DNA sequence: ACACGCATACATACATGAATGTAAATGCCA
DNA sequence: TGGCATTTACATTCATGTATGTATGCGTGT
C-alpha cells in the first residue's frame, strides 16, 4: 500500500467528492452506497472512511464546495447595497446567482440537494433550504422597503408583495431549471422573467 | 388468520395507504421500510405484499389518491375555457389548484413527492413533475396567447413571458409552501402574489 | 338453510443480499 | 522506523421478496 503525499491524499479526497457528485446525481443519495462512490473514484471504501466520517459527512463536504444561490443573492445584496440603487442591486444579485448556478459543479450539487435527496442521517435538506429562504427573504424585503421609501416601486405593489413575487419566481425558475438543466439557459430564460418582473413593478417616469 | 370481508380488505388497503403517507412524510420514502408501514397500520408486512406488489406499487397507489396541482390547473382551464375570459380562467384555475393543494391529503402526498423522495425503483419523480410541467405550460401559453389576441395583455408582456412568469411563480409558491405548510396559507399568500401578477400584466382601461 | 370446499387475506417463517462501521493489514516514504 | 493513507477483512444489521401456514368468507349445491 503506497503511502501517499499530502497532495496525493488531497487529490484522493477531491476524487471521492467528484465521484459523490456523479453518483449521487445519477442514483440519488439514499440509493448510493459508499462502495459505489469509492469504486467510481478508483478507490476502496476504506479510503472513503479515512477522509469522511460517514455518508452525511461526505454529503456536507460536497455541499460546502458550492455556494447556495440564495446565499449568493444575500452576499451580493449585502456587498453592493450602496452601489446602484436597491432595485438594480436586487436584479443584478438575482442574475448573478443564476449565472453561478449554471456552473457545472453548482448545477450538479444543487440538483442533488433539490431533487436527489430526502434525509441524510441528521441532515434535513428541507430545513437547510428553509433557513436560507427565510434569510434571503428578509434581506430582499429590506431592499424592497428601501426602494419603496425612495419611491421606486409602483404604488400598487408593497415591499411584502414584491418580495413574495420575486422570491417565489426565483424558486420556481431554479427548481424547474434544475430538473432539465440541459434544455435551456437559466440565465437567459430566468433572466427574462426577472427583468420583466422588475420592469412591471418599477415606477417609470411619466411622459 | 381470519379471512376478511371484501369491505374489511378494502379498509386494510386504505389503512396501509394512510400509513404510507404518514411514514413517508416523516422519514422519507427511501428510509421507510414496508415493515414500518405495516406496523403503523397495525398489520404485518404480509398484508402489504398481498395488496401491493412492492414499495413502488404502494407509492403509485398513494399518488393516485390525489390530483397534481398542475393537472388541476390543466383540467380547470380545459373545462372553463369559454366561461369568463382567458386571464380570469387562468387566475381562477391557479387559485383553485392552491385550494385543492391545501387539503390535508393533497398536502401530505405532494410534500412526499416534492421533498421526501428521490427515485423509487423505476419511478423518477423528477420526470413525473417535468411531464406535467410541460403539459401545463403549453395549456397556459395557449390561454395567454388568446388573451394577447384579444388585447387583454399589456404590450410589454408576450404570451411566452407571461407563461414563464406565472408558471415559475406557481412552482416557487408551491415548493416554498410545501416545506412549511403549517406556517401560512398558500391560498392567501400565493393568491396574493398571483392576483398581483395578473393585475400587473393586464391591460387596464385608460382613464 | 346448511354443508362443503375453495380461495382469500392476511400472519409468520425462510433465505438472501446489500450496506454499514470497525478492525486489522499493508507498503512506502520522510 | 513510525506513521500515514490506503486496502482488505470481519461482524452485524436491516430490508427485501418469497414461501408457507392459518382461519375464515364466499359461492355453490343439495
Same domain, B29 and B87: no
Q: How far apart are CA A177 and CA A132, in angstroms?
A: 19
Helix axes B191-201, A159-179, angle to 10 degrees: 90
Confidence at residue B159, expressed as pLDDT on a 0 to 100 scale: 97
Q: Burial of A122 by CB count in 10 Å (0-12 exposed, 13-18 middle, 19+ buried)?
A: exposed
A168 contact B CB<8A: yes
Task: Measuring from the CA of residue A30 to each C1' atom, give the nucleotide at the shortest distance.
Answer: C19
* B176 chain-A contacts, CB cut-off 8 A: 133, 167-168, 171
Q: Do A164 and B200 touch (CB under 8 A)?
A: no
Residues B157 and B176 grouped into a single domain:
yes
Please report the residues numbered 79 through 118 in chain B whose beta carbons come closer than 8 angstroms to any beta carbon of chain A: 115-118
- What's the structural domain count of chain B? 2
- For residue B119, the model assigns a pLDDT of 78
What the block records as the C-alpha cell of B87 is: 386571464
- Residue A121 in contact with partner chain B when CB distance is under 8 A: no
Is B206 within the bounds of a domain? no
Chain centroid to Cα B144, Å, comes to 22
pLDDT in tens, B93-118: 999 999 999 999 999 999 999 999 88
Give me the mean pLDDT over the B156-165 stretch: 96
For residue B44, what is the domain's CATH number? 1.10.10.60
A160 is in which domain, residue-wise?
69-201
- The answer as to whether B47 is a domain residue is yes
Q: Are A13 and A45 contained in the same domain?
A: yes
Q: Is the pLDDT of residue A206 over 70?
A: no
Q: Same domain, yes or no, for B58 and B76?
A: no
Q: Are B81 and B171 part of one and the same domain?
A: yes
Identify the domain boundary among A63, A88, A105: A63
Q: Which of B31, B127, B193 to mutate to test the interface with A (most CBs of A within 10 A)?
A: B193
| B147 & B77 share domain | yes
List all residues 6 or more positions away from B155 whose beta carbon is below 8 Å from its beta carbon.
Answer: B203
Beta bridge partners of A82: none
pLDDT at A122 over 90: no
Tell me, yes or no, whether A56 and A73 share the same domain. Answer: no
> Interface pTM (ipTM) of the complex?
0.91
* B22 shares its domain with B92: no
User: Would you say the C-alpha torsion A76, A78, A80, A84 has a positive or negative sign?
Assistant: positive
Q: How do residues B11-65 score in pLDDT, each as one tens digit?
A: 999 999 999 999 999 999 999 999 999 999 999 999 999 999 999 999 999 999 9
pLDDT band for B81, please (50, 70, 90 cuts): low
Lowest mean pLDDT among A80-84, A185-189, B18-22, B26-30: A80-84
**A6 Cβ contacts chain C strand, under 7 Å:** no
What 8-state DSSP symbol labels residue A189? I
Q: B97 near B72, Cβ under 8 Å?
A: yes
Q: In terms of domains, do A174 and A125 share one?
A: yes
Task: From residues 31-60 of B, list those within 7 angstroms of strand C by Cβ.
Answer: 38, 43-47, 49-51
Amino acid at each position: 500500500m503506497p503511502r501517499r503525499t499530502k497532495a496525493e491524499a488531497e487529490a484522493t479526497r477531491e476524487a471521492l467528492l467528484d465521484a459523490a457528485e456523479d453518483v449521487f446525481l445519477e442514483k440519488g443519495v439514499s440509493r448510493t452506497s459508499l462502495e459505489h462512490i469509492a469504486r467510481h473514484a478508483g478507490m476502496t471504501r476504506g479510503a472513503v472512511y479515512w477522509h469522511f466520517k460517514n455518508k452525511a459527512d461526505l454529503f456536507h463536504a460536497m455541499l460546502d464546495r458550492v455556494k447556495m444561490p440564495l446565499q449568493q443573492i444575500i452576499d451580493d445584496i449585502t456587498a453592493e447595497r450602496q452601489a446602484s440603487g436597491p432595485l438594480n442591486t436586487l436584479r443584478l444579485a438575482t442574475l448573478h446567482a443564476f449565472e453561478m448556478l449554471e456552473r457545472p459543479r453548482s448545477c450538479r450539487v444543487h440538483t442533488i440537494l433539490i431533487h436527489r435527496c430526502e434525509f441524510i442521517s441528521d441532515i434535513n435538506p428541507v430545513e437547510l433550504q428553509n433557513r436560507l429562504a427565510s434569510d434571503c427573504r428578509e434581506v430582499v424585503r429590506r431592499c424592497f422597503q428601501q426602494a419603496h421609501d425612495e419611491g421606486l416601486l409602483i404604488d400598487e405593489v408593497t415591499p411584502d408583495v414584491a418580495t413574495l413575487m420575486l422570491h417565489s419566481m426565483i424558486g420556481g425558475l431554479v427548481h424547474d431549471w434544475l430538473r432539465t438543466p440541459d434544455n435551456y439557459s437559466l440565465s437567459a430564460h430566468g433572466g427574462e422573467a426577472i427583468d420583466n418582473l422588475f420592469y412591471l413593478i418599477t415606477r417609470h417616469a411619466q411622459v
